[in-house]
A and B are shown apart, each in its own frame.
Chain A
Amino acid sequence: MTATVINTTETRDERHVTVFVDRCAGCQECVIRCPAGALSMEPVTWTAIANDAACVGCRQCERTCPFSAIVVEGPLAVSERFDPPLHQPVELRGNVDETRRGYDTWEEAIAEANRCLACPDPTCMRGCPAHNDIPQFVAAVRDHDLERAHAILRRTTVIPDICSRVCNQSAQCEGACTWSLAGGVPVAVGRLERFIADHAAVPAPAIATASEPLSVGIIGSGPAGIGAAWDLIEAGATVTVYEKDDTAGGLPIWGMPDFTLPDEVASRPWRQLTEAGVDLRLNTPIPAESIDQLLTIHDAVVVAHGAGVPIRLPVPGADLAGVVDATMFLKGAKAAMMPGGDAAALRAELGIGSQRGARVLVLGAGNTAMDVARMARRLGLEATCVDWLDERFALARPDELAEARHEGVEVRFLRTLTALEGDGRVARAQLAHTVQPDRAKQPTVLKTTPDVLDVDLVVMAMGYRLDGTFKEALPTLPIKKRHVGMAHGKWTASGILKNPASAYNHHSPVGALALDREVGLWAAALPQRERVWVAGDALTGPATVVEAMAQGRRAARSILDAHPARPDRGADFRADHETRVLIAYASAGGTTAALSQTIADGLGIAGARVTLKPVDQVGAKELAAADVLVLGTWVEGLVLAKVRPAKAMREWLAKVPNLGGKPVATFCTFGVNPRGAGDELRDRVIAAGGVVVTSEVFGPHDRGEDARLHPTKPEAFANRIAARVLTRVAAVVA
Chain B
Amino acid sequence: MLGFAALAVFGGVLVSLSRQLNGRLSLSTSALHSSYWNHIVGLVFITIIGAALGGLFAGDPWGAPWWAYLGGPIGFIFIAASSWSITRIGAAQTALLIIAGQMISGVIVDVALGTAGNTMARMIGVTLILAGMVIARTNPKKTLDKTTQTD
Same complex origin of A and B: no
